[in-house]
Structure 1
């Protein structure tokens, strides 16, 4: 029976593979006439070494011809990501090639960077910064050939420059390699945007008006090439040039993102292996736990419901003995209800965001859409969180519902906002575009206090008017003494034991998510993430039920807080792995990037603890109500 269920479940989830490849564009396709101008925009500069993004014009690059920098209006997610989309002086026209063109200044008037400006550029090059451009909402990509393995990979953006013998050289010539798909006889669509970034010394260039002649390809890529040095001692004189090369392609407009998403598709087999392995372990564990728990519970319930003369002896041990205390309200009931309410909010936000992203509605073409959706969903889920938090609070005999509602609406956002506000000072000190502007902070506060907070209060209002959750047994007036517990029921031991299985379920996806967050990669395998999410829910629920059952068998009825804390035990493993990832995978050495990583990791761990702790609590709560409803209580 178990193998049959597993077979059909695997057949069902196999459909998600096709969902993974399904792409709903984030914007409508744009058709261009031949010769029509296509705007080239700059997004930002990024580095995996510093994790501090910068605006394109934070360095003295060529300005647009009219000298006016125009910032594109951005959504909330784009601003929080550090995107600052601006116009550039590059002129590109549909299906028209450009051999080589001087970008700005005259042929006898190169750009002069001062010593300070040169040092700034050299520092960015040393930290391996990438420049990100857009054409028709399509990000630029670079083909990078590993000199050791000769493997070709696709990188987002192009490298600002390179280091050689301790000196910095800037890539001052961009060769745009563009692809178009012919929509009809006179309409074209952009379906590819790559760049070859070259470093060419100004003395190697020959100019004819605003056109230029570069050294031969042999010289550019060979040992005889003379790249453009960034002189940190006396300043730098250089030219910026570019060329454009168009080519027709069979790639459709809807498939033009495949080259970027393909960066993760080579790891699909790893995802499938991880998920199938987790499912097999989960199903067999479920079978074992079901047999043990059902048999044990059946024996217990049969004994407790027996009219045998030995009833009194039976009742001296086991989980039935604490029936008069098992539903006794925990200490800090208001805080407990607030924490569970926040967990519900995080759970619903995560579930809906992943589901919508799995359907392709939050495609990478809509930059910042995923983060914007997550924030808005969290805000509007305050209504449901307030409702269930209120019902739990009234069940625990709480009376101060207004204070409880305020705590529910503020406890988690306050920690997140406070941490981000603290880190923002350090980002501001580095003049990074990753610093959240004051206006955006005010917008977030308005979402919090003007929408989320009232919705939580509204949820509390309706929740308090509903009947509290019904318990199958009454609570005694005098609490009973809890006997000394065995060593393995110590809360720290329980956390370590309970966290292993859920962490094993999310480990592989966590690795890819961390790569997307810190290694400047796309993550778009939300079909896999959706499956992993439900594996996590089931595994946490099972572990929570088992832990609470053994706790009650030890006549310890203080399960409320413990079920929440122990169920979040996988967060400890996530914290340990994140620290391991930092030291083994990332190349961060400076204080501020380290502080940012640890700060955001702390928020991630807290969020995951809230999520899994809430799942575990409701699983344990449902289990306890079921088993005590099944026995006869005199």
Structure 2
């Protein structure tokens, strides 16, 4: 499950749960975090509360990205007599802003409740102003019952299809009127009876909130069972102290649905035709590029190599031209070789982390019931693949003839992670200033830093050691001592235009799926179509590789041998379009009303774009590296 408050996803996160076909299979196999809880007809069913998050009810624009603790004093919700207990959470759950605690709601299995009074709270004027602002920003209350989020059911489309959305509105923002606070909750719980064990299991939780002024309704008020239309809503005055009575009703319903499929209502793919259109669009781009690369390799290159390798009738062979003319300069070390080796090494680390995470998710191992599993797995894999970053960086730096190996080792281990971690800490201060529950605790910060310094850094140093111990990579052709002069290039082959042209194709292959990912991140929805994401990620790899190979071939034919950095930047330039898409998404889908929200949005969008730049740039670099070595290793040089 991808849920952001305000950490990605890039990201930001994203196959359906493994579903069992019968009770015996359901009892025999469960994925981590998915074991069912068995209840009896007298068991207490705990209701856990989570942070309040901004939503987009009725397709309204998201107005904030800041989460607030359920027990924030400004909300002044009902509390237990004892201090609320915090539920143990994973690293990813904490980073994603989950703050799960116990609640005063008392639910007993199969025992209905009718308008049970929870408590009466005094809401001061400044608290009322704060709550009204959160209602105007479409904030949602998040509950968990047996690990299943409480849903708000709405009907959309001409067929009035039921859509289950996580959380339910804090209140109703009435146009040209005062916001109404929801203070009565109709809780509907579906349960299933396991006949083999004679036990009960929670299958679904839905909450329908209402706003009633209990004081004006009188003591005989009994929720919606009375004439609700005649009961005035609860409107908080911002000039005086308000008295708010919270009530709830509980309804139990026996259903035939199996426990293993209880997440299905949340995991229904929204607009599947658009997902398929995205795949078709991406496949067309890949087929087009594949055709171009095949034409270059099978026709132009094959013809050129055959001509260059002729030994007979040499007097008839034309003078070298095009890409063979630069054979003495094509493997000349690039400018800033250390920086290039570092970013390619870190890009390799990002690529392997993303690949393994998506594969695990596509196989169904990252259950949405295991909150924060996606982020935790991403962080763990990133740390362990530090050895790959060090190895790749050292091998490239040694190939470039670098001698400052200590700086290379330190740069690989600290440069890119320091930029991301430093930005993360900086954005966290804005969350602290906004008193958001999404602010990462200091202890968790130390834990992330410990993983960096005690796991990733030693592995990166080990990888660098192994890389420097390997023999130097030898080029297939010798490099001339005097650099060849590069002729003037046409406009579209100059560095900036060519990178922008090359970057638009990888972006075009993923931009539709990118919309669903960003909508999931910022609208706090579940993104769980990892099957689509796996295919789109594969298409992205092919597109980055093919477009950089094509652009490199065109540059070499134009006698421009500066391909090292350009191969990285051409595919990496797609990150620039992702950032522009983030700007477009901001103006089309968001209406952020605070400076802190804007800083958080653009800050994390920049970090996500930077990560994508490093990842996609490494793909393009290695594809071009293999291509150049292959073509120049296939010709005979006098």
Common fold: TM-score over 0.5: yes
1:225 corresponds to which of 225, 231, 240: 231
Shift of 1:168: 2.0
- Give the corresponding residue for 1:525: 529
Confirm whether residue 197 of structure 1 aligns to residue 201 of structure 2. no
Unaligned runs of 5+ in 2: 1-14, 20-30, 55-61
Cα 1:498–1:270, aligned 2, differ >3 Å: closer, same or farther? same
| Counterpart check, 1:57 vs 2:84 | no
Alpha-carbon distance between aligned partners in 1 of 2:160 and 2:37, rounded to the nearest angstrom: 37
Q: Which moved more, 1:69-78 or 1:147-156?
A: 147-156
Q: Per the alignment, in what secondary structure is the counterpart of residue 37 of structure 1?
A: coil
8 A Cα contact 2:184 2:223, kept in partner: no
What is the CA–CA distance in structure 1 between the aligned matches of 2:332 and 2:347, rounded to whole Å? Answer: 22
Match of 2:36 among 15, 23, 29: 29
SS in 1 for 2:71: helix
Distance 2:634 2:98 in 1: 58
- Picking from 117, 121, 130, the partner of 2:127 is 117
Q: Give the one of 40, 46, 64 matched to 1:39.
A: 46
1:81-100 alignment, distance < 5 Å: 81-100=96-115
Hey, what's the Cα distance between the residues in 2 that align with 1:486 and 1:288? 20
Question: Could you tell me how far apart the structure 1 residues matched to 2:17 and 2:36 are?
Answer: 19
Alignment partner, residue 427 of structure 1: 431
Looking at structure 1, the residues matched to 32 and 460 of structure 2 have their Cα atoms a distance apart, in angstroms, of: 34
Map 1:479-518 → 2, pairs under 5 A: 479-518=483-522
Displacement of 1:321 in angstroms is 1.4
Return the offset for 1:454.
0.9
The verdict on how the C-alpha distance between 1:589 and 1:148 changes in structure 2, with shifts beyond 3 A counting, is farther
Which of 533, 538, 544 pairs up with 1:534?
A: 538
From 252, 256, 262, the counterpart of 1:250: 256
2:446 aligned residue: 442
In the alignment, does 2:222 pair up with 1:214? yes
Shifted more, 526-535 versus 285-294: the winner is: 285-294
Shift of 1:213: 4.1
* Runs of 4+ more than 4 Å apart: 145-152, 204-207, 215-218, 308-313
User: How far apart are the structure 1 equivalents of 2:399 and 2:588?
Assistant: 48
- The alignment's C-alpha RMSD in Å is 1.9
Q: Give the distance between the partners of 1:266 and 1:146, measured in 2 at CA.
A: 12
Question: Which residue is 1:10 aligned to?
Answer: none
Instruction: Decide whether the 8 Å contact of 1:36 with 1:93 is kept in 2.
Output: yes
1:60-82 per-residue CA deviation (whole Å, 9 max, x = no partner) reads 11111x33221112111111111
- Cα distance in 1 for partners of 2:18, 2:102 equals 32
Counterpart contact for 1:485–1:554, Cα < 8 Å: yes
Distance 2:226 2:110 in 1: 27
**Aligned to 1:42, what secondary structure does the other structure show?**
strand
2:331 aligned to which of 317, 322, 327: 327
Aligned counterpart for 2:91 among listed residues 69, 76, 80: 76
1:168 counterpart residue number:
179
Distance 2:533 2:595 in 1: 32
Verify: 1:155 aligned to 2:151, yes or no: no
Structure 2: how far apart are the matches of 1:87 and 1:311?
A: 88
Q: Secondary structure at the match of 1:293?
A: helix
Instruction: Give TM-score scaled by structure 2 length.
Output: 0.91
Task: Give the structure 2 partner of residue 178 of structure 1.
Answer: 189
State the shift of 1:232 in Å: 1.0
Ranges in structure 1 where 5+ consecutive residues have no aligned partner: 1-18, 105-109
CA deviation profile, 1:63-111 (whole Å, cap 9, x unmatched) = 11x332211121111111111111100001111111121112xxxxx42
Kindly indicate whether residue 634 of structure 2 is the aligned counterpart of residue 630 of structure 1. yes
Flag the 1:194–1:513 CA change in 2: closer, same or farther, 3 A.
same
Distance 1:555 1:147, change over 3 A: closer
Question: Is the 2:307–2:317 contact (alpha carbons within 8 Å) kept by the matching residues of 1?
Answer: no
Offset at 1:186? 3.1
C-alpha offsets along residues 493-538 of structure 1, whole Å, 9 cap, x if unaligned? 1122112221121011101000110011110000110111110111
- Residues 545-599 of structure 1 deviation map (CA, whole Å, 9 limit, x = unaligned): 1111111111111110111011112222211111111101112232211111111
Task: Note if contact 2:285-2:509 (Cα within 8 Å) is conserved in structure 1.
Answer: no
Q: Distance in 1 between matches of 2:146 and 2:247?
A: 21
The aligned residue for residue 294 of structure 1 is 298
Residue of structure 2 aligned with 1:356, choices 354, 360, 365: 360
Q: Which moved more, 1:131-140 or 1:180-189?
A: 180-189
Q: Does 1:385 align with 2:389?
A: yes
For residue 268 of structure 1, report the CA deviation from its aligned partner: 2.0
Task: Tell me by how many angstroms 1:138 deviates.
Answer: 0.4
Which residue is 1:234 aligned to? 240
1:462-483 CA distance string (max 9 Å, x none)? 1111122231111122222222
1:567 corresponds in structure 2 to 571
Q: Counterpart of 1:132 in 2: which secondary structure?
A: strand
When residues 435 and 598 of structure 1 are mapped into structure 2, their CA distance, relative to the original with a 3 A threshold, is same
Match of 2:46, SS?
strand
Conserved 8 A contact 2:506-2:571: no
CA contact (8 A) 1:54 1:82 kept: no
Contact 2:34–2:367, Cα closer than 8 Å, also in 1: no
CA distance in 1 between counterparts of 2:239 and 2:319 reads 87
Alpha-carbon separation, structure 1, partners of 2:136 and 2:589: 18
Select between 401-410 and 311-320 the one with higher mean Cα deviation. Answer: 311-320
Q: Normalising by structure 1, what TM-score?
A: 0.92
Q: Measure how far apart 1:287 and its partner are.
A: 2.5
Counterparts of 1:604 and 1:535, CA distance in 2: 19
SS at 1:133's partner residue?
strand
- Contact preservation (8 Å) 1:303, 1:311: no
- Are the equivalent residues in 2 in contact too, given 1:204–1:215 (CA < 8 A)? no
Q: State whether structure 2 residue 419 is matched by structure 1 residue 415.
A: yes
Instruction: Give the 3-state SS of the residue equivalent to 1:464 in structure 2.
Output: helix
- State which drifts further: 274-283 or 157-166: 274-283
Structure-2 separation of matches of 1:215 and 1:240: 11
Partners of 2:442 and 2:239 in 1: CA distance: 38
Distance 1:463 1:406 in 2: 14
Match of 1:3 in 2: none
Q: State the partner residue of 2:116.
A: 101
The aligned runs of 1:271-286 (5 Å cut-off) are 271-286=275-290
Residue in 2 that maps onto 1:261: 267
Q: Aligned with 2:484: secondary structure? A: coil
Q: Distance in 1 between matches of 2:586 and 2:481?
A: 52
